[in-house]
Structure 1
Amino acid sequence: MEKAINSIIRALNQADATAPEWLHLLPAGEFKGVDGRGPYAAPDMDALIATFNREGHKLAVDENHSTDLAAKQGHAAPARGWIVELQKRADGLFGRVEWTPEGERMVAAKEYGFLSPVFLHSATKPFKVAKLLRVSLTNDPNLSDLKSLHSTEENAMLEQLRKMLNLPETADEAAVMAALTAAHTQQTAAAALMARIAEAAGVATDTAPDALVTAIQSRGKVSATDAENAELKTQLVSMQAQLTTLATTTAQDKATTAIDGAIKDGKIVPALRDHMISRHMKNPAEVESEIKLMPSLNAGGLGTRKQPGAEDVAMTAEDDKLIAMMGIDPKAYADTAKALHGKGN
């Protein structure tokens, strides 16, 4: 657990050390400003990219619209980066930025968190974006549809934390933080107890667990009058039992959540629930990888099956087996089959 916590800390430090290469400049669909300006029609990203490529000019990345405000007052308005390439994506128009040293430092240090684009648009509503001019670093964005400057690294970090903490992919930020807090508390308590035991054993407080056990064993049996050492040994045994129980309970909770979700999605039949939970507790990564590849039994529903008979559809032995395996209510199954049979006539 200590290694996992240290890995998380190192990863967080690494995340703070970089600035994003691609910036989210415009959303894909219709949008409007927080201040009420707009609405603006969904940008024609192909046309905007064609204009950018045809003109061949880099687009400045400044601070708080200094190009439009400070520069007109005769003040300095240095660029903190330059947009050198535009790219069309499913969630909008993105620009590849070449940061200046100061711009990269400010963004990596998270002095700015958001972007505010400047563009020309038509005169009638919904306004049509005609040309992208530049983009500003800001902490007071007018467009809430754009990704923050640090959203990419935050999503990557969240995924890394899920893996480190052995959480399912569906775990949200709150669940990840709760697990991280619990892991940190557990590590702190364990470290404090191990330090006390090491001190009582006469070795350094940072002695590795295996070496500590060897040191305790080398001292022979604990004297009946050595009450403190006896208490510490009891606490060590108790702590190990608690950690084992906690690990088992956590693994079972995660397995139950994952398998119940797969059953709900129709990827696993209820009859295999206990078996799959047991497998997930032993190897969650393997089971979750299998679940991803499993087709959903709900995908085709009952719509691909036609029941024989007239208006009252008879239930077959095959139906009975399917109902038992999937935990479907027999009456609901029969009603659905009846309705579907009627559509097929």
Structure 2
Amino acid sequence: MTNLTRHVCALTPLPSEPGDRIELIPVGAFRLADKRGRTEMRLDGAEASSVIAASFAAATGGVLPIDFDHRSLAPQGTADSRAAGWITAMEVEGDRVFASVDWTAEGRQALEGRSYRFVSPVFKTRRDGRVALIEGAGLVNNPALPELRQLASKDEDMDPIETIAGLLGLAADAPDKIVERIEALCETETQMASIAEAAGVTGDDTVTQVCARLSAKPEVDPAKYVPLSTFAELQTQFASLQSTVAGDKAEAALQQARDAGKLTPGMEDWATQLASKDLGQFEAWAAAAPVLVNLGKPRVAGRPAPQKTEALDETERQVASLMGVDEDEFLATRNAAVKEH
């Protein structure tokens, strides 16, 4: 236990009728209200039991003293070091270490007469602020950690905040968390009220009624719904019908182009693919394409018969571009068709 620093700090206000069990020191991180408050101190929960055991092992007679104003810490013989009580046991409960105390007559009288209101633990810390040893306590009137609640000897004296915190499963010294939890509960209650109103349920068992509504199978009107298998079959038939209609339209457009002499046998595969994929684009091509096959029909007024040339005109180049055919290939096909006629 070398390199330890001793601390004394008033922590817990005591009632005028002290019980034999008091709060002694926090578990977890804490700071003192004086200049030492700049440094965080800590009694780790995992170490608390071993700290308690080590404290009693180091105590004379196996008990820890509670004196007046920490006078027993003064040089021997320079101050009244009478005990106000003796700590006979310590245990961790929640975020506190509780001490069982056997009060002396002087100690009990000092508390009942309100000469002293606070108990101040004496403990030693390591360099990192972790509590290593509890040496006892003293009755004082200058608290350095006043946030610990007063330990009452009767249940009716309990702080209502402590009761609320206990019901919520939270520590009483965490007001922000208490408020946050209560706000969340209020919000949940408001949402549940809105759900109950929308569902049209009332009474104390609204949650049960809403859950029953959600789990119930919906009533189905046979006149408004059909089986999924029937619907899927109808979808297949409709898709087949659409494909047939589209194929008929494409074939009609192809035949019209053949009849107009604009579609040569070498262009059949390309034209069929284009008409099947994009009928509108094929019809645009057919409208602009020149007559390549002389079917013995009268020429369209104002349009000369195709002639064998060494280059494509502007219209033919546009047709070749729409067809995605190389201009030289298009020219060769056109001239061969002209030569045949």
Which TM-score applies when normalising by structure 2?
0.41
Which TM-score applies when normalising by structure 1?
0.40
- Larger Rg: 1 or 2? 2
Greater strand fraction, Structure 1 or Structure 2: 2
